[in-house]
Amino acid sequence: MDKEKRRSERSKMPTQLVLKRIDDRSGTEVHITVSDVSRGGIGFQGDMVLDIGSLYETDMIIWTHDVIHVFLEIVRIEKVGHTYYYGALFVGLSETDAARISVYQTFEKVEKAEREALMQGMSLE
């Protein structure tokens, strides 16, 4: 998906998750590698083909080590070599949990600005 089409800013969050399919009776479990997270969803990669529109659930551990139970809808797929890159939207994510993601992104921006200022020999204080 083009960056301009994204509704929410994305932050790097490399982690492993196991998704469980919930929109059919298969209960298929899929191991994925998350690359980024936003208030609206996640980007991830895996080696299995997932269907656009399919629904999954998982427990996602965020950077504060809190666990958020999330439901995901696959909305984008791209195959590169033997790997599939996906985009998934959160379905029914509470405003509280979405705010937790936004707070992290704010702190991440401040830390990045501080690192850049230190590299330039300046301080933001």
Count of domains observed in the chain: 1
pLDDT tier for residue 114 given thresholds of 50, 70 and 90:
confident
Residue 125 has what pLDDT?
53
pTM of the model: 0.75
- The answer to which of 4-8, 31-35, 62-66 has the lowest mean pLDDT is 4-8
Beta bridge partners of 67: 61
* Cβ-count burial 53-73 (b if 16+ within 10 Å, e if not): ebbbebebeeeeeeebebbbb
pLDDT single digits (tens) 53-68? 999 999 988 777 788 8
Residue 85 lies in a domain: yes
Mean local confidence (pLDDT), 108-112: 70
> Which residue, 8, 13, 22, 69, is CA-closest to 50?
22
**CATH code, 22:** 2.40.10.220
Residue 124 lies in a domain: no
Q: How far apart are CA 37 and CA 25, in angstroms?
A: 28
The boundaries of the domain holding residue 33 are 3-119
Residue 7 lies in a domain: yes
pLDDT tier for residue 43 given thresholds of 50, 70 and 90:
very high
pLDDT tier for residue 6 given thresholds of 50, 70 and 90:
very low
Mean local confidence (pLDDT), 38-52: 92
pLDDT single digits (tens) 66-97? 888 999 999 999 999 999 999 999 999 999 88
